[in-house]
Amino acid sequence: MGIDINATSVTLLALGRQGQGYRVEAYAREPLAPNTVLDQHIADPEALAAALSRAWLKTGSRLKGVAVAVAGEAVISKLIEMPAGLHTDELEQQVRLEAGQYIPYPLEDVALDFEVQGPVPGNPQRVQVLLVACRNERVEALETVLGLAGLTARVVDTQPLALERCLLLLAAHLPLATPGAVALLDIGPALSRFSVLHGQRVIYSREQLFGSGLLMEALQRRYGLTLEQALLAQSQGRLPQGCAEELLQPFEQEVLQQVSRSLQQFATSPQQQPLVQLLLAGDGSGLAGLERRVEGETGIDTSLANPFRAMPMGPRVDPQVLNEQAPNLLLACGLALRGFD
């Protein structure tokens, strides 16, 4: 079971194996009271634990061991090179020796992890290894809250790695007319992440200080609406007068500018590849017709990310609700997938 904790809600998603693929076993989302999570720090552990307990009861699942993630800016990550062919124990020992060069804290104060990314381009004798580290206090804060909710952290991952895991799943089920690179723009409340997958590897990833948080605050302050309520009203043609012109349309323009900026930065990077598909995800991707506007502006096939398109669903899961929420569930899905590594 993967758990996504952000400033506005907690999301629980459980996956199981079915044949060579996966099946959605359980899903629930529970809103958080304001100021429960502030700037990706847990400000009210008891309120967060209570929300997690309510969400867990909604799932109807018996799973108590979960996977959670620490936020991107709380994580130090570095791509390093290692000799190819090392056994896991040797690799782990070598990574710890290298880690001291890149981490500005005593190693006993951090949780370390690493993931082999593949051979170094042009040098098959060496491999690229992604080193990630996080202060122990951030991990312990998550474990404490989960304990209050009666849950156990089996895996503490990082948000970037969990999203990349989900992107691999998404790309595997895209009906691409021509082979090429696939990009994902995930618009969170505070940060957006633009990632590119090519040849079953994430070759490019960059975070930007752009998100839907200011739009959420303005909607609540001016119209007493959550973002979810505003997007539903937009799809049904019953938005309060002036809301679209004052808030939604300017935000759409900002998204288009963000897409353009991300594409330009990727096009001038050493990893540049022709893009054949662009996926949109996150709370900020739900504006009516946004994918058509992005496709019109960029000329790249664009769609909303849905990792569950090819997955069967268990009897406790409402397929309509899950598919409507799918672009917001990539992190929870990537965390749930970690249980099968």
84: domain CATH number is: 3.30.1490.300
What is the average pLDDT value for the chain, to the nearest integer? Answer: 90
- State whether 194 and 279 are in the same domain: yes
Average pLDDT over residues 229-245: 91
Report the SS3 class of residue 223.
helix
Average pLDDT over residues 68-97: 85
- State whether 182 and 303 are in the same domain: yes
* Pair of tokens at residue 93: 């020992």
Average pLDDT over residues 109-129: 85
CATH number at residue 199: 3.30.420.40
pLDDT at residue 68, as a whole number: 95
Q: What is the DSSP letter of 300?
A: S
Complete DSSP assignment for 140-197: HHHHHHHHHTT-EEEEEEEHHHHHHHHHHHHHHT---SS--EEEEEEE-SS-EEEEEE
Average pLDDT over residues 62-75: 85
Average pLDDT over residues 125-150: 91
β-strand partners of 130: 79, 115
- Give pLDDT tens digits for 319-339: 999 999 999 999 999 999 998
235 domain residue, yes or no: yes
Using left for φ > 0, alpha for ψ between -120 and 50, and beta otherwise, residue 24 falls in beta
In whole angstroms, give the CA distance from residue 277 to residue 291.
11
Structural contact between residues 266 and 194, judged by C-beta atoms closer than 8 angstroms: yes
**Is residue 80 very low, low, confident or very high in pLDDT (cuts 50, 70, 90)?**
confident
220 domain residue, yes or no: yes
Q: How many domains does the chain have?
A: 2
- State whether 179 and 298 are in the same domain: yes
- Domain containing 238 equals 174-307
Q: For residues 87 and 145, which has the higher predicted lDDT (pLDDT)?
A: 145
- State whether 201 and 262 are in the same domain: yes
Q: What is the DSSP letter of 247?
A: I
Average pLDDT over residues 12-31: 94
97 domain residue, yes or no: yes
**Is residue 72 very low, low, confident or very high in pLDDT (cuts 50, 70, 90)?**
low
In whole angstroms, give the CA distance from residue 153 to residue 156.
7
Structural contact between residues 226 and 220, judged by C-beta atoms closer than 8 angstroms: yes
- State whether 182 and 110 are in the same domain: no
- Give pLDDT tens digits for 304-317: 999 998 899 999 99
Average pLDDT over residues 63-75: 85
Residue 73 has pLDDT above 70, yes or no: no
- pTM here is 0.87
Residue 249 has pLDDT above 70, yes or no: yes
Element (H, E) at 88: helix 88-99
Q: Which residues are CB-contacts of 285 (< 8 A; sequence separation ≥ 6)?
A: 185, 187, 291, 304, 305, 327
- State whether 257 and 186 are in the same domain: yes
Residue 76 has pLDDT above 90, yes or no: no
147 domain residue, yes or no: no
**Is residue 66 very low, low, confident or very high in pLDDT (cuts 50, 70, 90)?**
very high
In whole angstroms, give the CA distance from residue 159 to residue 338.
12
pLDDT at residue 310, as a whole number: 86
Structural contact between residues 203 and 196, judged by C-beta atoms closer than 8 angstroms: yes
Which of 136, 162, 187 is a domain's end point? Answer: 136
- Give pLDDT tens digits for 198-208: 877 888 888 88
Residue 93 has pLDDT above 80, yes or no: yes
- State whether 109 and 201 are in the same domain: no
Residue 177 has pLDDT above 70, yes or no: no
186 domain residue, yes or no: yes
> CB-based burial of residue 24 (10 Å sphere; 0-12 exposed, 13-18 middle, 19+ buried)?
buried
6 domain residue, yes or no: no
Report the SS3 class of residue 327.
helix
Q: What is the dihedral of CA 271, 273, 279, 280, to 10 degrees?
A: 50
* Pair of tokens at residue 176: 């691409």
- State whether 205 and 285 are in the same domain: yes
Q: How is the beta sheet containing 302-304 ordered, strand by strand?
A: 201-208, 192-198, 181-187, 275-281, 302-304
280 domain residue, yes or no: yes
17 domain residue, yes or no: no
**Is residue 23 very low, low, confident or very high in pLDDT (cuts 50, 70, 90)?**
very high
Position 144, amino acid: T
- State whether 120 and 183 are in the same domain: no
